[in-house]
Structure 1
Amino acid sequence: MSETTLSPDSLSKLLLSKRMSAKLAVLQSWVRDGVPWKTNDLSGQVCLDENDEKVLDYFPTNILEFAQWDGSQNCLSVREHLGTLHSCSRTTLGQLYHQALREDIRKTMSALESKSVNQKENANRFLTIERQNREILQLKKIISVQESDVVNLTMQRHEAVRKLRDEKDTHRRNRNQWKEEKAELEAKIAELTRTLRKLTPLKSRSTR
């Protein structure tokens, strides 16, 4: 039976079924390929939460959300690839003749939730590793600077110790030289004193 021979009610049911199946196909593709990441509509950058973890874009998780989902809940970058999605009432989707479709929707949303959990864990694990690597690199840089400072301070200390030792050595040499010169002067004075003592009696006899 062609669509042209169907009653208006049957056509309405068929149209709704096609529209819901189209939305279901989108979710099934996300189960297979991964849920799109939410991006900023202006910058196009992937959105991060308060923990700097990537955020998945919107996807319905129950029948009511699936019925109301029309793509407007998604970010711009995802809407550009969704095409036209149509919403419907939960009551309409809850009709008995949509039971098989509802069951497929529930199974797909359940699989999508599991997929999203694994997807976020895997992606954010890499982000966490990258963040930790950046922190480690920063710490290494700090340690390198501190090690350089320690080396410089150690060299300055060694230089200061060397200068102090040299000054002590110079002071000791100067003191020894002073002692030697003092001893020589004292020896000369003593020699002169002895000479004067010898000359004094001779002078006294010559004046008599």
Structure 2
Amino acid sequence: MRESDHVSAQQKKRVEAILEKKIAVLQSWAREGVPWMLTADAKLARDTDGHPMLVHYPRDIRSFACWDGSLYTASDIEKNPGLSELKRFARSTLVQKHNLDNHTRVKHLLREICLKASRQLEELDFGGRIRKLEREIESLKATIVRQESEIDIFRTEADEERQRRVKSEKRLDRIRKYAREKIEQLERDRATGSTPTSSANVVSLRKQMHTRRRPQ
């Protein structure tokens, strides 16, 4: 492997690790809600109208790529340690071919998070009960769409794995067929004395046939 390929592979692994950490935070927030912002003395931070505020959360793919731990206070990070591990990556990362599934996954999660955050804020508005229910329905729909998308991805991966297994089984069958033919030829040659064939060759081929197992 060339040095440039080795560096590229290492960089790809680093970006994948960063991406997975960000997705894990989004999944947590989709389930439990976006955390409330805290002041330096660990109290709820409020806007100029006195309303509690949520911590920063990405709203689109661009802000997701730029999302990192520097956007949070020490109090926020103390209560949510995973925020300190968030790091930026190039905006082009998610449009690369090997990341297209993650692009779809993140897009659905971001929509779900935005709806979740809106619902959390509206819960403070006692006059907005109808809007709250409407948002909840929209949030649940977004969750269903995201889950269906992930199921499609898992099905695709399962199909690809099944195809790889079938190819491996066919290759194993070819090897066994070749081994059987070779054994038969060696035994015929030995019986007719047409070539000095060692019995060890036959035994070796037989062992290969019986010790190779089909992939599970």
Q: TM-score range by the shorter chain?
A: 0.5 to 0.7
Matches within 5 A, 1:1-208: 7-40=6-39, 42-80=40-78, 81-82=81-82, 83-122=84-123, 124-125=124-125
Counterpart contact for 1:57–1:75, Cα < 8 Å: no
The structure number with the bigger radius of gyration is: 1
Structure 1: runs of 5 or more not aligned: 1-5, 129-208
Instruction: Give secondary structure in 2 for the equivalent of 1:125.
Output: coil
CA distance, structure 1, for counterparts of residue 89 and residue 121 of structure 2: 30
Structure 2: runs of 5 or more not aligned: 129-216
Counterpart contact for 1:72–1:79, Cα < 8 Å: no
C-alpha RMSD of the superposition: 2.2
Deviations 1:38-59 (A, max 9, x none): 111x222211122221110001
Partner of 1:196 in structure 2? none
CA distance, structure 2, for counterparts of residue 75 and residue 28 of structure 1: 21
With a CA cutoff of 8 Å and minimum separation of 6, indicate the structure with the bigger relative contact order: 1
Count of paired positions? 121
CA distance, structure 2, for counterparts of residue 90 and residue 44 of structure 1: 33
Instruction: Give secondary structure in 2 for the equivalent of 1:113.
Output: helix
Q: TM-score, normalised by structure 2?
A: 0.51
Q: TM-score, normalised by structure 1?
A: 0.53
